[in-house]
Structure 1
Amino acid sequence: MTTMEKIHGIPVLMYPADGEIIGGERDALDLVGNAMYQGAAWVVIPADRFDESFFRLSTRVAGDIVQKFVNYRVGLAVVGDISRHTEASPALRDFVRECDRGTQTWFPADLEELRERLRG
């Protein structure tokens, strides 16, 4: 069950660790739609909720999902340890680094790191 939380005054829609696997654009549109309906500026999803294809850039799944969030100006935080994926893929490591430099999509290791980032 999703919960809405305010972090430093920012409305954040938090998804639980258990739930359906997120694997493509259609799932992203559902997440964005739910966020917009509830008035969330950010969506937080545990990394384990994403299909393995999300972490293989050649599948374009990550790019498609991130693009939906960008198009609708909703922030996306993929929270959790994804080191096994980034260690196996220099391209993914670069993608994550670039996302983390921006203001739209982040890959924080935990919720505390996210809270610090949202502090501004």
Structure 2
Amino acid sequence: MPDVLQERAGVPVLVCDPDGPAVTTEQDALDLIGAAFLGAEVVAVPASRLDERFFSLGNRFAGEVLQKFANYRLRLVVLGDISRHLEASSALRALVRESNRSRQVWFLPDLDALDARLGAG
């Protein structure tokens, strides 16, 4: 399945294919942002598509990606199980906790959780 624009809980979401191209560079993130300009407010990316560096905060890759989405006023949702990354990094645990309190970036287990968050306002 290709990346597809869907309305979820009344919000246009670009739901990214788990088998799509990996996000390994800032340009890859910008490509997702460009695809979202078809009308999405939220981009839901499977964690499996994110380069391992995204979850190692010391290299700043996650910060660069998150900043790109913020600059273009798009919300980013990372979908899937990231527990092994969370176990390895207290900094990542803090980032996920703070992000999930905001409206800009969420780390969620699946699309059902995304629907619930979007439906909650």
Superposed CA deviations along residues 47-73 of structure 1, whole A, max 9, x for unmatched, are 000110000000111110011001111
Question: Does residue 64 of structure 1 match 2:59?
Answer: no
Tell me if the contact between 1:18 and 1:49 (Cα under 8 Å) persists in the aligned partners. Answer: yes
Percent identical across equivalent pairs? Answer: 51
Q: 1:86 is matched by which residue type in structure 2?
A: L
Which residue is equivalent to 2:51?
A: 51
Q: 1:92 is matched by which residue type in structure 2?
A: L
Aligned residues: 119
Shift, 1:6, TM fit: 0.4
What does 1:65-84 align with in structure 2 at a 5 Å threshold? 65-84=65-84
The answer for unaligned runs of 5 or more in structure 2 is none
The answer for unaligned runs of 5 or more in structure 1 is none
4+ aligned runs moved over 3 Å, structure 1: none
Tell me if the contact between 1:24 and 1:64 (Cα under 8 Å) persists in the aligned partners. Answer: no
Superposed CA deviations along residues 11-69 of structure 1, whole A, max 9, x for unmatched, are 00111110211012111111111101x11000111000011000000011111001100
Shift, 1:8, TM fit: 1.7
* Residues 67-76 or 22-31, more deviating: 22-31
Question: How many Å separate the matches in 2 of 1:65 and 1:108?
Answer: 17
Tell me if the contact between 2:23 and 2:29 (Cα under 8 Å) persists in the aligned partners. Answer: yes
Question: Normalized against structure 1, the TM-score is what?
Answer: 0.96
